[in-house]
Structure 1
Amino acid sequence: MQHFPFDIVGFDLDGTLLDTSGDLAAAVNHALAQDGRAPLSVAAIKPMIGGGARHMLAQGLAATGGSDDALLDRLHRILLDHYAANLYVHSVPFPGAIAALDAIKARGAKVAVVTNKLEGFALEVLRGAGLLDRLSCVIGGDTLGPGKAKPSPAPIEEMIRRSGGGRAAFVGDSIYDVAAAHAAGVPAIACRFGFLMQPVEELGAEAIIDHFDELVPALERLA
């Protein structure tokens, strides 16, 4: 087996490793219902995912009539409480995700997660998916404090530090992921199957995959 070119491969969570859209949509719609609003489809909510729960809810409110900060604050708390009680009901790993993690680890590299989801929620979702023990670290949107979530490079830099240093790559599905990776000096791989806010070709990633079966070859080509 040829030498694997990366010491660490980081992954976004929602829309990359796991399809969490069903549970996130349920939380958004529960919050919207508290203000008497009609539910949004899972398909409508998917492009809202990636910037954290508050950002997702703000877009949901904008799509159903708008809001002010006071309403957003109130419904954000309701959304988080509902999601905390229903973290892993409909969520599932994307096809090939677990095998890809194991293939990377078999090549001697570490795998980690950097997400804008709250760290506590991320840990529970990853535990529910049976992935937590495969990871060198999990960095959430609140791990490093305000202003240190993606697209800031800080969480990816922290991922590298906690994983022991070395050459890293990052896999994600949003402009937040690619921008954070590039700001940290790390190549990005974009997932066409993710919760895309825009055409995947516009994200500026060094490679695009349609399925996790393509990930290890894509990483090897980036060498």
Structure 2
Amino acid sequence: MHNFPFDLVGFDLDGTLLDTSGDLGEALNHALSLAGRPPVARQEVYALVGGGTKLMLQRALERSGGPLPEEETAALTAQLVAYYEAHIAQHTQPYAGALAMMDALAAQGVTLALVTNKLEHLARKLLDELGLSSRFATIIGGDTLGAGRAKPKPDLLQLMVERTGARRPAYVGDTSFDTGAARAAGIPCVVVSFGFCDAPPHELGGNVVIDHFDELIPTLTKLATQTA
């Protein structure tokens, strides 16, 4: 018998489970070079991620000389995605403690899910290359339900619950897209402070903030008593 208070824990991908800044940064700089724009430093990528590939590119363009016409931005986004897909796991690694944390949750009988605004086929390819796909009962991307239904809308998290049949879900993320979606779906949300946070972690609107994955299981246990 397992008595962990949550039967499902969903995770964001970029900046939550995985530090993808190196590979995203190289793909972003490839697209910027095609537009004749200067590259961004890897640390700057942290402030640009969140909301999907196109939005990341738009933010970088705005910082480096201003936006481009929609047609040019769409073409550059396609070039960025193609480059990223071809080099998707050269530098990406799980954050410290992530694998042990997932093992520990699974040992408690908890179902794991992955819900990201990254395109679903890219999320699956990345997880496949890192040998992580089998850990998740479902993998949901920003385009899984079609245009306009990605986080911070609740739709993807609602699909996560529907697919898994969870009765007591929780979600873990690093940006306002994650906390907004969780809040709209009525799901408790843990924020990781080490990710691509688009605001100070304690101001993102999650229920609680952790600084390392070693803290997640005890934090979820405590959170369950607060949200019961």
Tell me the TM-score normalized by structure 1: 0.98
SS at match of 1:222: helix
Contact 2:111–2:136, Cα closer than 8 Å, also in 1 = yes
CA distance in 2, matches of 1:51, 1:101: 25
Matched, 1:159 2:160: yes
* Code of the aligned partner of 1:3: N
Residue 50 of structure 1 aligns with which residue?
A: 50
Residue 178 of structure 2 aligns with which residue?
A: 177
Query: Residues 50-81 of structure 1, C-alpha deviation per residue, up to 9 Å, x if partnerless?
Result: 21000000001111101221221121111011
* Code of the aligned partner of 2:18: L
What does 1:10-89 correspond to in 2, within 5 Å?
A: 10-66=10-66, 67-89=68-90
CA shift, 1:222, in A, is 1.0
Matched, 1:92 2:93: yes
Tell me the TM-score normalized by structure 2: 0.95
CA shift, 1:89, in A, is 0.6
CA distance in 1, matches of 2:46, 2:26: 12
CA shift, 1:138, in A, is 0.4
Contact 2:2–2:109, Cα closer than 8 Å, also in 1 = no
CA distance in 2, matches of 1:160, 1:169: 10
CA distance in 2, matches of 1:108, 1:195: 29
Paired-residue identity, %:
48
Residue 117 of structure 1 aligns with which residue?
A: 118
What does 1:199-210 correspond to in 2, within 5 Å?
A: 199-210=200-211
CA distance in 1, matches of 2:16, 2:69: 31
CA distance in 1, matches of 2:135, 2:74: 35
Say how many residue pairs are matched. 223
CA shift, 1:164, in A, is 2.0
CA distance in 2, matches of 1:164, 1:104: 17
CA distance in 1, matches of 2:125, 2:72: 28
Residue 137 of structure 1 aligns with which residue?
A: 138
Contact 1:98–1:131, Cα closer than 8 Å, also in 2 = no
Contact 1:9–1:110, Cα closer than 8 Å, also in 2 = yes
CA distance in 2, matches of 1:222, 1:196: 21
Gaps of 5+ in 1: none
CA distance in 1, matches of 2:181, 2:8: 16
CA distance in 1, matches of 2:186, 2:162: 14
CA shift, 1:114, in A, is 0.3
Residue 150 of structure 1 aligns with which residue?
A: 151
**Which piece of structure 1 moves more, 1-10 or 115-124?**
1-10
Contact 1:23–1:89, Cα closer than 8 Å, also in 2 = yes
